[in-house]
A = this chain, B = another copy of it.
Amino acid sequence: MLPKKTRYAIKALMVLYPTFESKRPMRISDIAENEHIPKKFLEAILLDMRKIGIVNSKMGAQGGYYLSKHPNEIFLSQVIRFTGGPIALVPCVSLNFYEKCEECADETTCGFRDVMREVRDASLHILSNTSLADLIKRERNLENKKKSD
C-alpha cells in the first residue's frame, strides 16, 4: 500500500497541472482545502517535491506553488520513490532501496526473490512510463466516456 503521503503528493500534482502553462502559482491552503489534505502535511510534501525539481514556489503575497517540470516528464515512479519508498515488495530486489536479505542463505538462488523481481519489473514498467500528463489524459478520457453513456 502506498502511504497517504504519496497519494496526497500525486493528487496535489494533478491539481497543479494547469500551472505549468499558466505559470500562476497556487496557494498550499487552497489545494489543501479543496483536496481534503491536512495543510501542514501538504506543506512538507510540496517541499519534498521541490527538492526533486518537480515544482517550484514563490513566497509572499500572490505566491504559491507551480509545476516547474513538464508534465510529460514527471513520472509516477519518481514521485512514489521519493514520498513512499520502494516499489519492490521486498528490499532484496529493490533497485533504489536495496537491502541484503536477512534470512536467505544465498540470494542469487532464492526462488521467491526471483518471482519478486518479476513483480517489480511489471509494476515498474507501468509506473516509470506513466507521467502526470498521462494521468490527466486518462482522467479526461474517463470523464468523456462517462458523459457519452
Q: Which A residues lie at the B interface, using CB under 8 A? A: 1-2, 7-8, 10-11, 14, 35-37, 76, 85-86, 88-91, 102-103, 108-112, 114-115, 118-119, 122-123, 125-127, 130, 134-139, 142-143, 146
In the complex, residue of chain B having the shortest beta-carbon distance to the beta carbon of A146: B109
B1 touches A89 (CB 8 A): yes
**Is B142's CB under 8 angstroms from A10's CB?**
no
CA distance A139 to B108 in the complex (A): 9
A to B CB contacts below 8 Å, 17 in the list? A1-B86, A1-B89, A7-B90, A10-B112, A35-B103, A37-B103, A110-B139, A111-B135, A111-B137, A111-B138, A111-B139, A115-B127, A115-B138, A119-B123, A122-B123, A122-B125, A123-B123
* Complex: A119 Cα to B129 Cα, angstroms: 12
Contact B90 A2 (CB under 8 A): yes
Q: Are B130 and A126 in contact (CB under 8 A)?
A: no
> Is chain A's binding surface mostly helix, strand, loop or mixed?
helix
A86-B1, A90-B2 as given contacts; A76 in contact with B143, CB under 8 Å? no
Would you give the shortest CB distance from A16 to chain B, in whole angstroms?
14
Given A2-B90, A36-B103, A115 and B111 contact (CB-CB distance below 8 Å): no
Q: Bound complex: CA of A2 vs CA of B137, how far in Å?
A: 32
Kindly provide the distance from the CB of A25 to the nearest chain B CB, expressed in whole angstroms: 22
Contact of A2 among B89, B130, B143 (CB under 8 A): B89
